[in-house]
Structure 1
Amino acid sequence: MSDLDIILEKTVRSYGRRQIQAGHALMIVMERDIPHPIGEVWSALADPEQLRQWVADPEGDLRRGGTYTLPDGSHGTILRCDGPRLLTVSWAREGSSVAEVEFHLTGEDGFTRFELRYASVRKGFAVTAAPGAGLWTGGAGWEYFLDVLEEYLAGTIPDEPQGIRFEIEAEGPLAQLFEARNERWLRTAHDFDQEHIP
């Protein structure tokens, strides 16, 4: 098994549907085991001081029911915050549909099972996009978020917070990984569509 295959196999991918505040939504789900205790993972995700080190500097009323904004224009409301197991936020950017991002954490023997659910009322997700095209796909984009989280938990603090990346450079290892993940998500979407043909 190649190094790329090992990275790809770290994430379990699926599609689903759920009701969110904006309406009936299509949802992508990714699960990954992170080799850190649940308390550490929760703090990296929910503590504003840690978030500003690896994602961005959040501003707003950072509590359940409060609103937040990020420097890239992302904004929303903190819908649920039940540490250290569940965080749900609405999430939108200019020109995009309102979505919800939900993080489920389960601690097991020093590891954390991390489940990320991204649900949007738009009719479909961009499943594949060429690196360098300026496009972002739900699956591969949020997997990159998990990669940066894991790097941060392992002790790598970036010179600049990584933000939530919407563009991938056209060449190099990250572009190769992006394309391979797109292919996995394309297969996952196809399987979901086949199971839900009317």
Structure 2
Amino acid sequence: MTDTATWLKTIHREVDAEDTDAGRSRTVKLSRTFAAPVDDIWDAITNPERLARWFYPISGDLRVGGKYALDGNASGEIMKCDKPSALSLTWEYGGGGSSDLDITLRPSAGGGTVVDLQHTAILPFDDETWAAGIGQFAPGWDHGFSRLDDYLKGELAEDDSPNELSPAAQELWAQAGAQWSEAVRIWRS
């Protein structure tokens, strides 16, 4: 990827919060069209061999109701798996409680695929604290989308690891953080 700023503009970002019976839920949402068919994207996000190539190695009981673990990252339970359009997981990271991750795929014009990702958590702090921290965690999803895009294009180096942020990946995180700050500004207005 040569122009990070231009590429990041291909992602639509939103934030949201609402009161629920369980507490205040807060959500980050990303949407991007990838130049690959739905079945290929589905396989890239659910096939353990392919997922390990661009995201993280995964292990566990990889079926609805089963527990999964991403090597060096999150773990949780597979809640829904409707091939090839919807995947829902619980997401447990670093002992910080459980959140919900929902991914949907839908065909776009020209044979591509729109990937919608929604990450929702009930958090024990106010909206201001949450909004201030978005730039620290939400760019991780931009980074994941970037790696998926590079993988699908055959541009991801064999030895590239999501845990080792190259200068280009660090720049992507920084610029994505600014994009998330703008999403927060729009949400507040």
TM-score, normalised via structure 1 length: 0.80
Change (3 A) 1:39 1:67: same
Whether the 8 Å CA contact 2:147–2:156 is kept in 1: the answer is no
> In 1, Cα distance between the equivalents of 2:171 and 2:61?
39
Please report how far the alpha carbon of residue 56 of structure 1 lies from its aligned counterpart in structure 2 after TM superposition.
2.3
Report deviation, 1:33.
Answer: 0.7
% identical aligned pairs: 23
Match of 2:10, as an amino acid? K
Cα displacement (A) at 1:49: 2.2
Change in 2 beyond 3 A, CA 1:7/1:157: closer
Q: 1:87 to 1:23 in 2, by over 3 A?
A: farther
Q: Distance in 1 between matches of 2:38 and 2:19?
A: 27
Contact kept in structure 2, 1:56 and 1:161, CA below 8 Å: no
Aligned twin of 2:82 = 82
1:154 aligns to 2:153 (yes or no) = yes
Aligned to 1:134: none
CA drift at 1:5:
3.3
List alignment gaps of at least 5 residues for structure 2. Answer: none
CA shift for structure 1 position 102: 1.1
1:147 is displaced (CA, Å) by: 0.6
Does the Cα contact within 8 Å between 2:143 and 2:169 map onto a contact in 1? no
Which one of 171, 177, 180 corresponds to residue 185 of structure 1? 180
Distance verdict in 2 for CA 1:62–1:21, change over 3 Å: farther
Partners of 1:148 and 1:40 in 2: how far apart? 15
Q: Deviations over 1:26-47 (max 9, x none)?
A: 0010111100001000000011
Measured in 1, the distance between the counterparts of 2:23 and 2:61 equals 25
**Equivalent residue letter for 2:91:** W
Determine the C-alpha separation between the residues in 1 that align with 2:173 and 2:90.
25
Q: Deviations over 1:134-160 (max 9, x none)?
A: xxx232110000111111111245434
User: Partner of 1:127 in structure 2?
Assistant: 134
What is the correspondence of 1:31-180 to structure 2 with a 5 Å cutoff? 31-108=31-108, 109-122=110-123, 123=125, 124=130, 126-128=133-135, 137-160=136-159, 162-163=161-162, 165=163, 168=165, 172-180=167-175
> Shift of the alpha carbon at 1:168?
4.8
- Deviations, residues 69-124 of structure 1 (Å, cap 9, x unaligned): 12214210001100111101111122313111111111123100111111111232
Q: Structure 1 runs of 4+ off > 4 angstroms?
A: 18-24
Q: How many residues align?
A: 181
Displacement of 1:20 after TM fit? 9.0
- What is the TM-score with the length of structure 2 in the denominator? 0.84
- More displaced stretch, 37-46 vs 154-163: 154-163
Q: 1:32 to 1:21 in 2, by over 3 A?
A: farther
CA contact (8 A) 2:13 2:29 kept: yes
What's the secondary structure of 1:56's corresponding residue? coil
Segments of 5+ residues of structure 1 without an aligned counterpart are 129-136
Q: Post-superposition shift, 1:24?
A: 4.3
RMSD between aligned residues: 2.5
Richer in helix (by share): 2
